Amino acid sequence: MRLGGPESDNIEDRRGRGGGGGGRGGIAVGGLGGVAILLVCLFFGIDPSVLLSDGEAPPPTQREASREPGRDPGQRNAAPEDAGRRFVAQVLGETEQVWTAQFTAMGRQYQAPVLVLFSGATQSGCGGAQAQMGPFYCPNDRRVYIDLDFMAQLQQQLGARGDFAAAYIVAHEVGHHVQNELGVLRRAEELRRGNDANAVQVRVELQADCFAGLWAKRANDARRILEPGDVEEGLAAAAAVGDDRLQRRAGGRVQPESFTHGSSAERVRWFRRGLESGALSACDTFASR
Ligand SMILES: [Zn+2]
């Protein structure tokens, strides 16, 4: 990738600070049980309990305070500059440009999410976050949580190497934030009642994949961020984190009814749809059969 744009300021660097621990969010996969499910939640997860739980939103005062950029300079920018942080901040900056333009075109204002870098464990508006959960988005505090070490390790394990694969992870999580802004997450929560909750979750995840593709296309059209091989890398990453692939890797039987993110083929298909069209309307996974 060629990332020359400005870095986003919406990074909250909590690395090197002790994890908050506690909170039942840390046991996000609890109740679902099983190695396969643990693995499924590892990567790209909106942790299902985030949406299914009753929230645990922080009190309004705390939320306001933490949303204010630069309010607490002692906590932000605590860790030294490094390549991983810079990369994530640049990708986040690219997502801000693309989504700000999209929202403006819709006559709306895009409120960008804050991206929290943490190591080990931290607290989120959705409960305790642990690196093992993988990157996730918490709608309650409108933050993306990423542990850079863990992400690098997973990329290696899953064979989803390269910078564009990492950018895809960030863009997918930002996609969940866009869903939050557009009211999709709220509607999905309503849909879950009386429907197959896993099937609804799959549509939420596939739409975030499509949004990630849309982002890559728009950013590339505007600023030529893609280099040869990047698209293939993104598609390989999408395939590597399909539920069927993860379940097989975990040594289990492939159980489509337990999917929460979609099969490899579906993830590739929706990422590609966003990537080729660059159109929001192409990402209606809820209308699709
Ligand atoms: Zn997701």
Q: How many domains does the chain have?
A: 1
Cα 29 to ligand 1 centroid, rounded to whole Å: 15
The tokens for 131 are: 């690196």
In terms of pLDDT, which residue wins out, 149 or 175? 175
pLDDT value, residue 5 = 85
pLDDT given at position 175:
95
Share of the chain above pLDDT 90, in %: 40
- For the record, the structure tokens of 174 come out as 């930002």
Q: How far, in Å, from the CA of 168 to the mean position of ligand 1?
A: 11
Classify residue 6: in a domain, yes or no.
no
Q: Is the pLDDT of residue 47 over 50?
A: no
pLDDT at 70 over 80: no
Most confident range (mean pLDDT) of 75-79, 191-195, 228-232, 269-273 is 269-273
CA of 18 to the centre of ligand 1 (A): 26
- From residue 9, alpha-carbon distances to 2, 70, 136 in Å are 19, 9, 19
- Domain membership flag for residue 3: no
d(CA 277, CA 252) in angstroms, rounded, equals: 36
Range name among 38-42, 152-156, 251-255 with the lowest pLDDT average: 38-42
Residue 53 has pLDDT above 60, yes or no: no
Centre of ligand 1 to C-alpha 17, Å, is: 26
Q: Can you tell me which residue has the tokens 């296309």?
A: 217
In this predicted structure, the answer to whether residue 42 has a pLDDT above a threshold of 60 is no
Q: What is the mean pLDDT of the chain?
A: 78
Averaged pLDDT for residues 23-32: 31
Radius of gyration for the chain, computed over Cα atoms and rounded to the nearest angstrom: 17
Least Cα distance to 210 among 145, 142, 262 occurs for 262
Instruction: Please identify every residue whose CB atom is under 5 Å from ligand 1, which is an ion.
Output: 44, 46, 205, 208
C-alpha pair distances (Å), 228 with each of 7, 244, 276 = 23, 28, 16
Whether 94 is in a domain gets the answer: yes
36 C-alpha to ligand 1 centroid (Å)? 17
Confidence of residue 247 (pLDDT cuts 50, 70, 90): confident
Distances, alpha carbon 240 to alpha carbons 209, 248, 250, 267, in Å: 13, 11, 13, 9
Residue 22 has pLDDT above 60, yes or no: no
> Crossing angle for the helix pair 83-105 and 163-182, nearest 10 degrees?
40
Distance 218 CA to ligand 1 centre (A): 20
In a domain, 2, yes or no: no
Instruction: Supply the range of the domain harboring residue 161.
Output: 11-287
Q: Ligand 1 centroid to 228 CA: how many Å?
A: 26
* 1 within a domain of the structure (yes/no): no
pLDDT at residue 284, as a whole number = 96
Q: Quick one: pLDDT at residue 283?
A: 97
pLDDT in tens, 89-142: 999 999 999 999 999 999 999 999 999 999 988 998 888 888 877 788 999 999
Q: Is 166 inside a domain boundary?
A: yes
* Per-residue CA distances from 62 to 54, 57, 125 (Å): 18, 10, 10
The CA 260 to ligand 1 mean position distance, Å, reads 9
Query: Does any domain span residue 17?
Result: yes
Residue of 260, 255, 266, 163 lying closest to 209 (CA atoms): 266
Tell me the CA–centroid distance for residue 119 and ligand 1, in Å: 20
CA of 74 relative to ligand 1 center, distance in Å: 30
